Amino acid sequence: MTENETVAVYGAYGHTGRFVVAELHDRGFVPLALGRDPAKLAAAHPGRAHRAAEVTDPDSLDRALAGAAAVVNCAGPFAETARPLVEAALRAGIPYVDVAAEIEANLDTFREFADRAHTAVVPAMAFYGGLGDLLVTAAMGDWTAADEAHVAYALSSWHPTPGTVASGAVSRRRRDGRRVRYTGGKLDYHTADAPLPTLDWDFPGLGRRTVLGDFSMADIVTVPHHLAIPEVRTYMTTEAAGDLAALDHRAPTAVDERGRSDQTFTVDVVVRRGATRRRITASGQDIYAVSAPLAVEAVHRLRTGRARTTGVASAGEMFDAPDFLRALSEHLTVEPDLPAGTR
């Protein structure tokens, strides 16, 4: 039963938070807008219930989550917000979902709550980390292990939100000038003077695009958390990477009634075991907007007993990946190349 259940959204006046509130409403939930600034909450969601809470004040978080059936954290930097909100969700006995793309923040959540979470905790349940993990899991099918997983992102453009910019700055400080990749079955922090390598990637439906290799995203944390794949690599088209690196960031501009930007994306996944390769591709519009149905579908499944495990888990570990992707057909076009009988 999820109809009329209250779901709290922390960071509800942020860009992605607004999409999540709207998606919850459309799915029959009652959104409860949470954030630090009550005036911004009221302005962003007029007529909706809202409560102010500060992540440095556990009592205020407890009051804010009172009566909620779940909480979705949309407030970056997640290095600052994830831990206190997970702890508040555990005290309340409700599921926690976030949309963190920060590699280190997601790693913190998996490590710190591995033995403490008695309710479901799903970090990175968003475009980066969550979608890639679902696609890799679906492509694996009946395989229990693979040699490599490659997740290539083609974005028509990338105008980052202020939250993305702030989160990226925190991650860079934590890495202290190092790069990170997942190789040899572990995260490898290393220094490198040379620029990231470039290569050509043939995206289904798009053709050949130049991508940056080892452009590491949250998938290098979510995928190996539950899948035995010693090499997990992510790639980004050079144009999108250039947009992200630009100094004059422009926030996404709405072009339709849903508030989505005109940005389009393709996520192409290839997994290899020996000489056999499996491929699956997803495409859609607006990476921030699509994070909302990903997070809300996760909440819906957690509240209707459709989780595959308990405690801290990534998207592909917590849910039936192919079924989850099918449920997002209104938002994603998924073209699997899977042999018959895969789950």
- In the chain, residues under CATH classification 3.30.360 are 128-287+332-337
Q: Which fold has domain 6-127+291-321?
A: Rossmann fold (3.40.50)
* Average pLDDT value for residue range 138-158: 97
pLDDT band at 249 (very low <50, low <70, confident <90, very high): confident
- Among the listed residues 217, 215, 212, the one whose alpha carbon sits nearest the alpha carbon of residue 199: 212
Q: Is the dihedral of CA 58, 64, 68, 71 positive or negative?
A: negative
Task: Name the percent of the chain lying above pLDDT 70.
Answer: 97
CA–CA distance, 12 with 15 (Å, rounded to integer): 8
- In the chain, residues under CATH classification 3.40.50.720 are 6-127+291-321
CA–CA distance, 130 with 97 (Å, rounded to integer): 11
pLDDT at 251: 84
197 DSSP assignment: P
Beta pairing class for 276-285 and 333-337? antiparallel
| pLDDT over 90 at 205, yes or no | yes
| Residue whose structure tokens are 């290899």 | 272
| Residue whose structure tokens are 């005036």 | 39
| Average pLDDT value over all residues in the chain | 95
pLDDT at 189: 95
CA–CA distance, 24 with 29 (Å, rounded to integer): 5
Per-residue burial over 159-186, b = 16 or more CB atoms within 10 Å of its CB, e = otherwise? bbbebbeebbebbeebeeeeebbbeeee
pLDDT at 97: 98
Cβ neighbours, 10 Å, residue 82: 26
User: How do residues 301-329 score in pLDDT, each as one tens digit?
Assistant: 999 999 999 999 999 999 999 999 999 99
| pLDDT over 70 at 339, yes or no | no
Domain covering 128-287+332-337: architecture: 2-Layer Sandwich (3.30)
For residue 210, report the phi and psi dihedrals to the nearest 5 degrees.
-85, 130
| pLDDT over 80 at 338, yes or no | no
Beta pairing class for 198-203 and 333-337? unpaired
Strand positions, DSSP E, the chain: 6-10, 30-35, 50-52, 70-73, 96-98, 121-122, 148-155, 179-183, 186-190, 198-203, 207-212, 231-237, 264-273, 276-285, 333-337
pLDDT at 193: 86
CA angle centred on 212, ends 210 and 215, rounded to 5° = 150
pLDDT at 1: 52
* Average pLDDT value for residue range 259-286: 98
**How many alpha carbons lie under 13 Å from residue 217 in its C-beta half-sphere?**
26
Amino acid at 165: V
CA–CA distance, 101 with 104 (Å, rounded to integer): 9
Distances (CA, A) of 295 to 80, 164, 274: 20, 17, 34
User: How do residues 24-53 score in pLDDT, each as one tens digit?
Assistant: 999 999 999 999 999 999 999 999 999 999
CA–CA distance, 58 with 93 (Å, rounded to integer): 15
